[in-house]
Structure formats: C-alpha cells, structure tokens
Structure 1
Amino acid sequence: MAAEVETMFYTREKPWHGLGTLVAEAPESREALRIAGLNWKVLQEPVYTENDELIQGYKANVRDSDRKILGVVTDRYKVIQNEEAFAFTDALLGEGVRYETAGSLQEGRRVWLLARLPREYIIAGERISPYMVFSNTHDGSGAVKTALTPIRVVCNNTLNLALRTAKRSWSMIHTGDISGKIEEAKNTLFLADEYMSALGKEFENLRGIRLSEKQVMDYIEILLPVEENFTPQQKRGIERLREDMRMRYFDAPDLKDVGNNGYRFINAVSDFATHSTPRRKTANYRENIFARTADGNPLIDKAYQMVLTA
C-alpha cells in the first residue's frame, strides 16, 4: 500500500494521502472504530530467544487480528487499546461527538483519531474551528498524545501556535497509573476555551505588528536558508520554495484585506507548511505533515517567534 497509511476513513473531501474509505458523515465512536479498521486488540506475549529461552523484562505487543508484532516493550508498558482511546475522547468531548477521520499508520504501530469540537470561534473576524487530535503508539516508540488544533476555516490552515500563555497539548507514557493520567488529560483538554481565548488575543497582537516588504522577504530567506555546500540544483529548489511562500503572502486572495502585518505572515507560513509540496518528496511526507498537527510545526513556530521580535 502506498505511503504509510494502513487503514482509515474520512468524511467529505479526500484527505492528504488519498487513501481510505469515504463515509457520508462523521460517525460515532463504535462505528468509527470499525470503518477505520481499528477494531482489533493488542495482546502482550512473552519474548524468547532462538533457543526458547525466556527474555526477562520484555514482552511483545501483538495484534490479535493477524498476529502482527507491533513492537517489543518492557514489562512495565501498559497497553491502551484502540477502543479505550475512542472511549476516552467520547468522555472528553461529550456524548454525540463525531469523528472526522481515524486510522492506522505503519502497519498498526501508530493510530490516530481526529474529532471536531462542537463550538466554532470567530477570532479577529476569522472563523476558527478547533479539532482534537488523539495519537497513540503500540510499538513503544512514543507517548499517548492529545492536542488541540485550531483550523482557519477559509483555507484549512493549521494555526496551532506554541503560546506561552496557554497549553494546547498533553501526553503520557505507557507506564504507571494509566487511569489517573487519563483523568488528568481530561482536566487539561477542558482548557480549550482558555487556549482559544489566548489565541484570539495573540491574533490581535500579530495584526498590530506592521511588516515591511523587505522584512517579509528577509524572514522568508531565514526560514528557507541556502547553505554554502548546496549544489546549484538544491539552490534552485530552495528559491522555488521561497517564491511559493512569497506568493502565499503577497498574492493569496484570502489575505488581501488583512494588511501587511504579522498575522498575515503567520497565515502565509502556515499555508505553506500545511499545503506546499516539499523540495524532496519522501514516501511519508504527508504523514509527517499530519503528525505536526498534533506535535506542532517548527516552521510556523519559528516564524511566530521572528514576528514577535520584529
């Protein structure tokens, strides 16, 4: 199968990787689990050497549907089943939550789900829809993570800025008191209104930071640097990316009335980070874009910090 997407569903428009099962409307958790291909469990089994000697302290995480070994973990590792993840988000977001997309990456080693929060915000005249992303690994490579991701509706750009004044994500490792940690996560994610309020104030602040054309050009060159050891071909590739980002700032129809300011620049960088094709397109580049939905995008955060010091 192409890329790293194993199974998934999506609603409305075809997603970034072009795979999955289209459904007419966002389903509830039990149906979402089934059509996303996530209705399987992870079993923990002992690990042996080639000579049938038990390896103490380790277990194999095995998918029950096909006996696929997802990873080898320590015996302190506690599995969070896919159905538990959906039950968690049901409890977090309330009865009747609808899932926009969910699926499996890397042959089941990583799973995710994306749910749209019921409230839409009008911030600085913009329609902003907050989404909650839940991601989990079954191979021991990462933590459970939940994150709030605001989407600018007019262009589907992510605006998940790393604010100093409000938290938008929470994570936990697969050891210790899992149930207690999940309760902590509920308390954290209920602070969505606080983050959105802080984001609105920051948007107004960014609108007040005036940027000259030269500043914008300089910032783009800093964000997309040309290294001394680059080949002529690499330099041309970077220049194409720079021109792409310039067009998203100067020519985007949805930004023409925003003014020449930090808010416009952040939106242009976000549009570039969310939708542009990279200079070197790896097999899983779209999955990396999606991963940054939860983890945050360093390019957007770097642009944000530069504008704050303008």
Structure 2
Amino acid sequence: MAANVESMFYVRETPWHSLGTKVKEAPASNDALILAGLNWQVLQEPIFTAASEPIEGYKVNVRDSDRKALGVVTDRYKVIQNNEAFAFTDELLGEGVRYETAGSLQGGKKVWLLAHMPREYIISGEQISPYLVFSNTHDGSGAIKVALTPIRVVCQNTLNLALAKANRCWSMIHTGDIHEKMQEARDTLLRAENYMQELGQEFENLRMKKLSDRQVTEYIEILLPLEDNSTPQQTKNIRKLREDMKMRYFDAPDLQHVGKNAYRFVNAVSDFATHAEPLRKTANYKENLFARTMEGNPLIDKAYQMVYAA
C-alpha cells in the first residue's frame, strides 16, 4: 500500500489513487466507517518517563484496535472519535448527500470522508460538481475540518478558489448535542450553497477579463519563476514546466470554446496543478495532492489573485 495511506474505500472510482475497497453504492456513515477501516476508538492514557515517573499535563492518544500511539497531547485535548466526528453527516445524507470515499492516513493520525453534494451546477456553461471533504486528526495537529471542493466535471479539475466573500473551508467542533449537530449540518449546506453562488459570479467576472498571449506568458513566468542562481538542470526543469502550463492554456481541447480570458487561465493552472506529473515524485506525493484538495492549492489561488488584481 502507498506511503501514508493506511485504509480506505471508494465508490466506483477513487478520486485520487487506486487503493482501497471498491463498493457499488455510497454507504451511510456507520457502514462507511467500517468499510474505510475507521471503526476503532481513541483512548487517552498517561505518559511516564523511563524511570516510571508520570509526566504531568500530557497524555498519549492510543488506538484501541492495535495499541498504536497516535500522538502526544495536553490534558486539555478532547478526543473526537471517528463516529462522533462524522455523525452529523447522516443529516446531510437525508438531503441527498452521498459518500464517495473515506480512509485513514499516517497510521490513523488523520482520517477523512469525502461526500458528493446532491446538487449539480451549470456555471459559465459547464457542469461543476461540488464535493465536501470531512477531515479529523488524532495526533493533536488539528480539529475537524470541512472543505468544499468544486470539480469541473469535463476534466476533473479542482476549482477550490479562495474567495473573498465566501469561505470554502471551515472548522467544526463536535458537541454531542443532536439538535446542535443537525443545525451544523444545515449550516454546512447553506455555506456550500453560498460558496457555489459566489463562485459562479466570480467565474463570470473572470470570463470578462480578456488576456493577451503576452500576458499569459508573463503570468506563467511569475507562477514558475526562474531564479538567478539556478543550475542548468533547474533552468531546464522550469522551462519544461512552463511549456507544460502553456500547452494547457493554448492547446487544451476542453478550453478552446472559452476564449482567451482569465477564466481560461485559471482553469489551465488548475489542470496543471491537479494533473501535471511532478519532476520528482516523493513518497508522500499523493497525500500532499489530497491535502491541497482539502486546504486549497496555493498555485491556483496565486493565479486567481493575479488575474483578479489585473
């Protein structure tokens, strides 16, 4: 199994690699947790020195299924179990949301569920399919996070832009109160709808911003800078990447009808960021790609901010 990916399931085709258990239909959360290998609990236990002296103020999070230590945390840290972290999504399922994949990274330190939202959007004449990624950590590095990731269906590019008027990523705290949990679910749908509406408006604005071929070339050079002290090999690599990005703007068949504008440029950068093969693929390459789906891709955001300010 690939580095950092411990367990997962997926419906039909996995969004980001070919691992895990394939299922025919999207399951409910309880079944999803079992299929994803997430049906375990986190225990908090005291920590001792080599001399068997207790270390005050800290505990270790331990997985009950195999006694694996997940992380050292302070006494203030509250464990949010896998079933608790994602239980509120059962309310979303009633609205037509369905799970597509779920799994565990880094030996259980990070877990996630990815859900497909019930509504499809036609924005600027193209089908945009919204997904929600639910992520939780057990090593003390973060809270529950929910991120909206719109996918341009025709080419599976992510368009999770950082918009000024609507957030695409937010944190959630498990309260244990069913009424508050249901309200959080409704808020999630509302936030997603607000983001998609703002995204649609922003796409229209980007379409109105015409770009010359020279501007596109200059923007690509800014996104993929060539340092003064670069070695010959580094210079060759950057020029290769620049040509790749240019090809995705000027020659991509799915963008020929769009016109030469900022919307086309952002899509080309998204295609590059989502699908281009890196010059050197590290052991955690796929995990990093998934993280950028969750947190946002800085290259896409930089391209968007650059053309927006022009």
| Partner-residue secondary structure (3-state), 1:30 | helix
Corresponding residue number in structure 1 for 2:306: 306
Q: Distance in 2 between matches of 1:227 and 1:178?
A: 52
Q: Distance in 1 between matches of 2:263 and 2:287?
A: 27
Partner amino acid, structure 2, of 1:305: Q
Q: Distance in 2 between matches of 1:184 and 1:88?
A: 9
CA contact (8 A) 1:97 1:115 kept: yes
Deviation at 1:93, TM superposition (A): 5.0
Query: CA 1:154 to 1:113, structure 2 compared with 1: closer, same or farther past 3 Å?
Result: same
Structure 1, unaligned stretches of length 5 or more? Answer: none
Deviations 1:16-49 (A, max 9, x none): 3321111122222121111111111111111111
CA contact (8 A) 1:170 1:185 kept: no
Corresponding residue number in structure 1 for 2:282: 282
Deviation at 1:234, TM superposition (A): 1.4
Partner amino acid, structure 2, of 1:303: A
| Partner-residue secondary structure (3-state), 1:87 | coil
TM-score normalised by structure 2 residue count:
0.94
| Partner-residue secondary structure (3-state), 1:16 | coil
Corresponding residue number in structure 2 for 1:158: 158
Q: Over aligned residue pairs, what C-alpha RMSD do you find?
A: 1.9
Is 1:128 the counterpart of 2:128? The answer is: yes
Q: Distance in 2 between matches of 1:239 and 1:16?
A: 27
| Partner-residue secondary structure (3-state), 2:87 | helix
State percent identity of aligned pairs.
71
Structure 2, unaligned stretches of length 5 or more? Answer: none
Query: CA 1:184 to 1:98, structure 2 compared with 1: closer, same or farther past 3 Å?
Result: closer
Corresponding residue number in structure 2 for 1:139: 139
Pairwise mapping of residues 42-191 of structure 1 onto structure 2 (< 5 A)? 42-94=42-94, 97-172=97-172, 185-186=184-185, 188-189=187-188, 190-191=190-191
Partner amino acid, structure 2, of 1:45: E
Q: Distance in 1 between matches of 2:183 and 2:223?
A: 36
Is 1:29 the counterpart of 2:29? The answer is: yes
Deviations 1:189-209 (A, max 9, x none): 222111111111100000000
Q: Distance in 2 between matches of 1:247 and 1:277?
A: 14
Partner amino acid, structure 1, of 2:155: C
Pairwise mapping of residues 206-245 of structure 1 onto structure 2 (< 5 A)? 206-245=206-245
The total of aligned residue pairs comes to 308
Deviation at 1:54, TM superposition (A): 1.0
Deviates more, 1:81-90 or 1:258-267: 81-90
